């Protein structure tokens, strides 16, 4: 059983072939139906796999899922073979082997794989099909190193992932060489390890110091902007609260001292009480002491009515006689 999800994939030279049944030649149609039932379909994919990336992983995923029941063997070429036919690699062969061992789709890794597949190699590892992209791969004096595999009906194509490749990654590094050199100098690598000259080292370190100062200035600006924003926000809140309090104060003042305020009503009530205290109201008509009130006492006979003085001596004598008669009646 596959242990790729719990342990690294084994190397082919450290394990025996797991296919115990006679290795009968299969067609692609038979393999797609899931036959034979007594063993998985053995699929082989090879490559350099330098700077292992998502494009490599997707190709291996397609090779693993070509058939319902498959066992994926991955061949990785050695450094000597790769440098001879393709060029220098960033990762050495041991690093490339380990990268493939830890891919979830790989069941077995074949080290020092051949550049061109031979019938002996296919028979040794009991390979049913070879998976690779369908673009002709010209190398080692051949227009397509997989031509004989295709003619034998053992080739199954996969799709390349656009936008990602080892060459693209190397191009990015070469294009931004100064950035990565400065980055590694800042992380503790020496100029000798980076193969950087003395002058370039000083230039890169100076640029790193300038970038640090720029970053500090940027942080100060951001903090100052944040501080100003907070101050503006607080001042806005204070102004809003002051306006609310001022409106409340003005409303209370008008309610107390306005034209119809409580202070005017209170002043009017106190003024009325003071006037009442100084000039009390007259007693009511049904008061028992009204007839004997000093203000209503009869005038003496010798006091004449100022409003209507007597017009003649006869009238005056008549009024005196009437007042004397009234006195007699009271007696």
State yes or no: pLDDT of 99 exceeds 90.
yes
How would residue 271 be classed by pLDDT, with cut points 50, 70 and 90?
Answer: confident
For residue 237, the model assigns a pLDDT of 79
Domain residues of the chain, as ranges?
28-158, 166-267
* pTM more than 0.75: no
Q: What is the dihedral angle through the alpha carbons of 3, 8, 11, 16, rounded to the nearest 10 degrees? A: -20
Residue among 84, 82, 14 at smallest CA distance from 49: 82
% pLDDT > 70, the chain: 77
For residue 303, the model assigns a pLDDT of 47
In sequence order, the 6+-apart residues with CB closer than 8 A to the CB of 55 are: 160, 161, 164, 165
Report yes or no: 59 and 164 within 8 Å, Cβ to Cβ: no
How would residue 216 be classed by pLDDT, with cut points 50, 70 and 90?
Answer: confident
Please state which CATH number belongs to domain 28-158: 3.40.50.620
State yes or no: pLDDT of 94 exceeds 90.
yes
Rounded to an integer, what distance in angstroms lies between the CA atom of residue 312 and that of residue 216? 122
DSSP class per residue in 115-164 = SS--HHHHHHTT--EEEEESS---BTTBS-TTHHHHHTT-EEEEPPPTT-
pLDDT per residue over 103-124, tens digit each?
Answer: 999 999 999 999 999 999 999 9
State yes or no: pLDDT of 235 exceeds 90.
no
Among the residue ranges 211-215, 245-249, 280-284, the one predicted with the least confidence is 280-284
Buried b (16+ CB within 10 A) or exposed e, 199-236: ebbeebeebeeeeeeeeeeeeeeeeeeeeeeeeeeeee
Rounded to an integer, what distance in angstroms lies between the CA atom of residue 195 and that of residue 181? 10
State yes or no: pLDDT of 265 exceeds 50.
yes
For residue 143, the model assigns a pLDDT of 83
Q: How far is CA 83 from the centre of its chain?
A: 47
């Amino acid at each position: 059983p596959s242990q790729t999800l719990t342990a690294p994939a084994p190397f082919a030279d450290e394990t025996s072939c797991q296919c115990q049944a006679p290795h009968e030649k299969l067609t692609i149609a038979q393999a797609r139906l899931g036959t034979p039932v007594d063993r998985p379909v053995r699929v082989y994919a090879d490559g350099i796999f330098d700077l292992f990336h998502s494009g490599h992983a997707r190709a291996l995923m397609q090779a693993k899922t070509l058939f319902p029941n498959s066992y994926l063997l991955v061949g990785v070429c050695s450094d000597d073979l790769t440098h001879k036919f393709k060029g220098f690699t960033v990762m050495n062969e041991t690093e490339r082997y380990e990268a493939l061992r830890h891919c979830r789709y790989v069941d077995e890794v074949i080290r020092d794989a051949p550049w061109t597949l031979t019938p002996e190699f296919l028979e040794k590892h009991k390979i049913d099909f070879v998976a690779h992209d369908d673009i002709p791969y010209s190398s080692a004096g051949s227009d397509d190193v997989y031509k004989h595999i295709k003619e034998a009906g053992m080739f199954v194509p996969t799709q390349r992932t656009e936008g990602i490749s080892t060459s693209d990654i190397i191009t990015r590094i070469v294009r931004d060489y100064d950035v990565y050199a400065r980055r590694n100098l800042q992380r503790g690598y020496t100029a000798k390890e980076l193969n950087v000259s003395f002058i370039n080292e000083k230039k890169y370190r100076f640029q790193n110091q300038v970038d640090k100062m720029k970053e500090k200035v940027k942080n100060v600006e951001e903090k100052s902007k944040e501080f100003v924003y907070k101050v503006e926000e607080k001042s806005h809140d204070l102004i809003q609260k002051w306006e609310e309090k001022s409106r409340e104060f003005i409303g209370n003042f008008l309610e107390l001292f306005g034209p119809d305020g409580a202070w005017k009503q209170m002043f009017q009530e106190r003024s009325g009480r003071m006037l009442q205290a100084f000039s009390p109201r007259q007693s009511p008509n049904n008061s028992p002491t009204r007839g004997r009130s000093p203000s209503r006492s009869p005038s003496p006979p010798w006091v004449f009515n100022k409003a209507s003085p007597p017009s003649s001596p006869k009238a005056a004598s008549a009024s005196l006689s009437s007042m004397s008669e009234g006195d007699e009646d009271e007696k």
